[in-house]
Amino acid sequence: MVGRTKERLYALVLAIVALFVLWFILSRLRIIVVAFLPWWMLALLLLAVGVVLFLAVTAPRPKERGFHGFLCRQIAIPI
């Protein structure tokens, strides 16, 4: 039970970091995004980001080594 809560906490932190990165990128490209993208395309972009975040948070995690092992396998760091 504690491991699952810890994994959800890591997923929540990952989602918050992803939202911050999205906000940072969009704030730097604010003029370009507002000037050149129609409102419906911007809405589709935000919807796509939301779907990716949802899938990242709800994805099943491997249990044998916890979240640290999952990250190390994703970026090929031997543990």
Alpha-helix runs per DSSP H in 1-79: 2-28, 30-36, 39-58, 66-74
pLDDT reported for residue 17: 82
Q: Which amino acid is at 30?
A: R
Report the chain's terminal Cα–Cα distance, integer Å: 24
- Per residue of the chain (79 residues), give pLDDT as tens: 556 677 777 777 887 888 788 777 777 766 555 567 777 877 887 788 888 877 777 766 655 555 555 555 555 555 4
pLDDT reported for residue 6: 76
